[in-house]
Amino acid sequence: MKFILLLCFLAIGSVSAEEVDVSQAAALVSTQNIKAEGVIRQALEALVSKNTGLSVDYLNDNSLVTDDFSEVILRHYFVQSKDQLSGQPYWLYIVADEDKLSAKLAEHELPFWPKRRSLLYVWLVSENEVGILQHEPVDSIFHYWLSEWLKNKGIPTIFHQVSEDDLLDFAAEDVKNLNPDLIDYVHQVQQQDSLLLVYLKDTGRGFSYRMGLAVEGQDIIIKHRQFVDLSKGFEYLSDFVQSHEAASQQVFANEVTDSTVTIRVNHIDNADRLLTVLNYFDAHSLVTSWQVLTLNNNQIDLQLKLAVVPDAFSKIVDREHVLKYLPLGDVDRLIFSFQAP
C-alpha cells in the first residue's frame, strides 16, 4: 500500500522552481553608444548580480567587477524601454559564455547562486491620484517595470491574473492591506510557497509602495518606500527581494562540486508530509536529481545528487525551515527531521 501511495506522489510534478537564464542580463542606460563611459561596466555588474545574488550597488561600492570580467562577453544588444519618458530609455543586454563566467566568479571568490530557483508569485495593485484602486493589468507600465526588474535580478515569477472568481473572493483592497486570508489562499489553494504582494500609490508628485513578502512557514516581511522615478522605485523593491531570495541559496566557490549523499528524513507520519518532502527536493536549486530508497517506520531514505558539498547543502536546508538538520550522521549520510508548521 505504501509503495502504491509513493508512486502516486512521485507522479505529481513540482512547479515551484524554474531554471533561470543566467547567461545574460541588462543595465538601464541613457544612450545606445556602446563606447560611452561606464555602460559595459553597468551591464557586467547586472550580470554578476544575477549570478551571485549580490546587489549591483554592493558590487559597485566594493569594486568587485573588475575589467577582466569583460572577457566573458560574447555579444551585446540594445532594447528600447517601454517608458520613453524615463531618463534611461534603453536596456543594454550582454550575453556571456556561461562556463567562462562561472570560472571568473570562482577566480574572484564570489558566491554562486544556482540557476534553478524558487518561483515567486506576484500580486500587484495600484491606486491613482483620485483614490481608485485596481488590480494591475499585464499591459500596464507598472507591471512592465516590476516584471522587468525582477527578471533582470534573476527571480523567476508568476504574476497573478485576475479572474471572476478572484473578484468574488478578494478585492484589490486585500492586497493593499496584506490580508492574511489572501496570503493563506495563495499558499494553500494556489499552492505557491513564496508570495509578493505589492501596493503602488500614485501621489501626483511621485509614488510610494507597500510590499509584503510572504514565504510559507515564515513571518511576513513588510517594506515601505517613497520615490519619484517609477523605474528606480521598482529597482529598489527588486533589490530587496533578490537579497532575500538569494540568501538561502548562495554557496561559495570552494563549496561548489558534484557530490552524492544519502538523506534520511524523520517524522514522515502522513501523506502531506511525504509530498512536502518530495516536492521540496524536486524544486531545490542545489539538488540535480534524487531517488527514493526506502519508506518505512515514518522515515524516508533518499539518494541525492548535489551541486555542492554535503555540508553546504545541510546548512542551506536548515535555513529554509522545512527540514531541521540533525548532526547525527556522517559526511555521506545526512539526517533531517520534518519541521511541522
**pLDDT for 141:** 94
Quick one: pLDDT at residue 215? 92
Span 211-215, average pLDDT? 97
The C-alpha atoms of residue 326 and residue 301 are separated, in whole angstroms, by: 14
The C-alpha angle 129, 130, 134, rounded to 5 degrees, equals 85
* Segment among 126-130, 168-172, 285-289 with least mean pLDDT: 168-172
Average pLDDT of the chain is: 89
Confidence (pLDDT) at 190? 87
Report the pLDDT value the prediction gives residue 3, as an integer from 0 to 100.
38
Looking at residue 339, what is its pLDDT? 83
Quick one: average pLDDT of 21-42? 95
User: Could you count the other beta carbons within 10 Å of the beta carbon of residue 128?
Assistant: 13
User: Would you report the helix, strand and coil content of the chain in percent, each value rounded to 5?
Assistant: 35, 35, 30
232-274 pLDDT, tens digit each: 999 999 999 999 999 878 888 889 889 999 999 999 999 999 9
Residue 341: pLDDT band (50, 70, 90) is low
Higher per-residue confidence, 298 vs 86 = 298
pLDDT at 9: 42
When pLDDT is cut at 50, 70 and 90, the band that residue 13 belongs to is very low
Amino acid sitting at position 285: S
Choose the weakest-confidence range: 11-20, 211-220, 239-248, 281-290: 11-20
pLDDT attached to residue 337: 94
Find out whether 81 and 90 touch, Cβ atoms under 8 Å: yes
**Mean per-residue pLDDT for 269-297?**
91
Report whether 265 contacts 338 (CB < 8 A): yes
* Predicted pLDDT of residue 165: 61
Q: Quick one: average pLDDT of 89-116?
A: 93
- Reported confidence tier of residue 278, pLDDT bands at 50, 70, 90: very high
What pLDDT is attached to residue 16? 64
pLDDT given at position 319: 78
pLDDT in tens, 317-338: 887 778 999 988 776 789 999 9
Provide the percentage of residues in the chain whose pLDDT is more than 90. Answer: 72
Distances (CA, A) of 167 to 68, 124, 135, 179, 297: 53, 14, 10, 14, 45
pTM above 0.85, yes or no: no
CA distance 341 to 322: 8
- Compute the chain's Rg from CA coordinates: 22
Residue 86 has pLDDT above 70, yes or no: no
Confidence of residue 80 (pLDDT cuts 50, 70, 90): very high
- Residue 20 or residue 318, greater confidence: 20
**Sign, Cα dihedral of 192, 127, 221, 170:** negative
